[in-house]
């Protein structure tokens, strides 16, 4: 038996994640990076070694003044049932806010290194050549997509043998370029110089 989250559950996941993104964007102290929590990383103030990409945290991709909850404050979701037309309307509205989440223009053209989870889009001879990088396990597959400013559309210069939800490092020049795919809307793009297995450290 396949468990499909109720409409209200999916909406709650989307709302709670949006709130978490807003909170982390406002918090200047990033969390530590780990295999189960690649949302962390070094702070924006950390300077990379000469010729090395800048290790960033996911919250640096979110404009500091963006509040995804602005239109939903004061809402009582406990009164909404799956069959309620208002629940459908709210879910669509939340998805619209998420899909149109603004990017951070300061990140455009920056050489970065970022950890995350793979959502494959294209494969060739058993190797992933195009994918979405997302900040938490299950995004776009088992749960709703994160906001567009928390998804990176990646084309790898060389295919790699990874599977869905494998944790990897991507390295390359980040672009603020929107892309719509069947798995989610991304606000960032990278032609990755390297895609490597996540080992729990910056190396």
Dihedral over Cα of 29, 30, 31, 32: its sign: negative
As a whole number, the mean pLDDT across the chain is 79
End-to-end CA distance of the chain: 42
Q: Which two tokens stand for residue 37?
A: 């929590």
Query: Which pTM does this prediction carry?
Result: 0.78
Q: What is the pLDDT of residue 16?
A: 52
CA distance 44 to 64: 13
Residue 169 has pLDDT above 80, yes or no: yes
Helix/strand/coil for 14? helix
Q: List, for residues 59-86, the tens digit of each pLDDT value.
A: 999 999 988 888 777 777 677 676 778 7
Domain of residue 57: give its range: 1-203
Q: What would the two tokens of residue 115 be?
A: 């950890």
Q: Which of 25-29, 138-142, 149-153 has the lowest mean pLDDT?
A: 25-29
Q: What is the pLDDT of residues 104-125, one digit of tens each?
A: 999 999 999 999 999 999 999 8
The CATH number that applies at residue 179 is 2.40.50.870
Instruction: Quote the number of domains for the chain.
Output: 1
């Amino acid at each position: 038996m396949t468990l499909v989250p109720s409409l209200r559950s999916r909406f709650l996941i989307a709302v709670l994640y949006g709130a978490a993104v807003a909170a982390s964007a406002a918090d200047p102290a990033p969390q530590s990076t780990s295999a189960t929590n690649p949302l962390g990383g070094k702070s924006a103030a950390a300077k990379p070694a000469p010729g090395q990409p800048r290790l960033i945290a996911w919250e640096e991709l979110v404009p500091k003044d963006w509040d995804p909850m602005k239109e939903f404050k004061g809402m009582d979701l406990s009164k909404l049932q799956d069959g309620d037309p208002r629940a459908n309307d709210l879910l669509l509205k939340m998805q619209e806010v998420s899909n149109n989440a603004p990017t951070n223009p300061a990140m455009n053209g920056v050489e970065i290194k970022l950890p995350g989870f793979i959502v494959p889009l294209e494969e060739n001879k058993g190797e992933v050549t195009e994918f979405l990088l997302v900040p938490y396990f299950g995004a776009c597959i088992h749960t709703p997509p994160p906001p567009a400013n928390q998804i990176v559309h990646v084309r790898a210069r060389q295919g790699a043998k990874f599977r869905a939800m494998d944790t990897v490092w991507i390295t390359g020049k980040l672009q603020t370029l929107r892309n719509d795919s069947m798995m989610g809307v991304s606000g960032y793009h990278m032609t990755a110089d390297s895609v490597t297995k996540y080992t729990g450290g910056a190396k």
